Amino acid sequence: MKIIDLSVPVRTNPGEPVPVTVKLTDHVEGAEVLGAVYGLTADDFPDGYAISTELVTLSTHCGTHIDAPLHYGPHSEGKSAKSIDELPLEFFFAQGLLLRFDSDPQRGPVSADEVAAAVERHNLTSIARRIVLLDVGAAEKWSTKEYFTSFRGIAPEAVEYLINQGVKVIGTDAFGFDQPFGNMLKNWRKTGSKDVLWPTHILGRKREYFQIERLAGLDQLPDDIPFNIACFPIRLAGCGAAWTRAVAILEDCSA
Ligand SMILES: [Zn+2]
């Protein structure tokens, strides 16, 4: 069995707009925290060390993560939008399908025609229930400022095409599914239209789907061997998103 990590490390970097903070309680300090009430010091612990802990603060959208319908709006398909802990886990372990696209951000969001052509190249009778990963060549910019400001989004029509094929979980190696914030803002200033603000996320109010953002390692995936994807979201109660350690599994687990 071979496992390919499809997630990025969680740490502050110029590609993430919200910083990650880690407050470490080290092994010596840990002794005071754990033992102070009982009069213990570090010297009372084996080797003079207690156990360490970290207090981490970060956005639910930091690093490789999954967006639940609750992120898109209060309702999805006419019902209360599901939070991340309410999503059925069956969707997050399935056969993967990797689609590769031109990475030039000047081309704008990946279109429905591009996605349809990429799917057709695989000659499959059905892609229903697969986890579809869209490689827009953004991962190589991860941890740079450009990762946040310059990438190809995915057009809502492209996502809807996949939903119509029975796909529920769709991932990208870019910062997000919609265009960079600066591009959307420019379009909004030009048109004044509500339709140019996060259109792909907002599609999720009409058609329920789950999106993985900020994937990595897609360049290591084979084009000719089938693989499974496991990308269970962390069970954050009532939240609109959660982190995932997404991986590709290249052979049967029993092998
Ligand atoms: Zn997100």
Residue range 167-203, pLDDT digits in tens:
999 999 999 999 999 999 999 999 999 999 999 999 9
CA of 246 to the centre of ligand 1 (A): 15
The CA distance from 169 to 228, in Å, is 13
What is the pLDDT, as a whole number, of residue 199? 97
What CA–CA distance (Å, rounded) separates 204 from 194?
A: 15
- C-alpha span between 33 and 26 (Å, rounded): 10
Distance 213 CA to ligand 1 centre (A): 6
% of the chain with per-residue pLDDT over 90: 87
Cα of 140 from ligand 1 centre, angstroms: 19
Distance (Å) from CA 148 to ligand 1 centroid: 12
Least confident residue range of 34-43, 162-171, 231-240: 34-43
Q: Where are the beta strands (DSSP E) in 48-207?
A: 53-57, 65-67, 75-76, 79-80, 93-100, 131-135, 169-172
Distance, CA 102 to ligand 1 centroid (Å)? 22
d(CA 222, CA 46): 48
Q: How far is it, in rounded angstroms, from Cα 224 to Cα 57? A: 40
Report the length, in residues, of the chain. Answer: 255
Q: What is the pTM of this model?
A: 0.94
Ligand 1 geometric centre to CA of 143 (Å): 16
Cα-to-centroid distance, 106 and ligand 1 (Å): 22
Residue 125 Cα to ligand 1 midpoint, Å, equals 31
Between the CA of 114 and the centroid of ligand 1 the distance, in Å, is 23
- Model confidence at 119: pLDDT above 90: yes
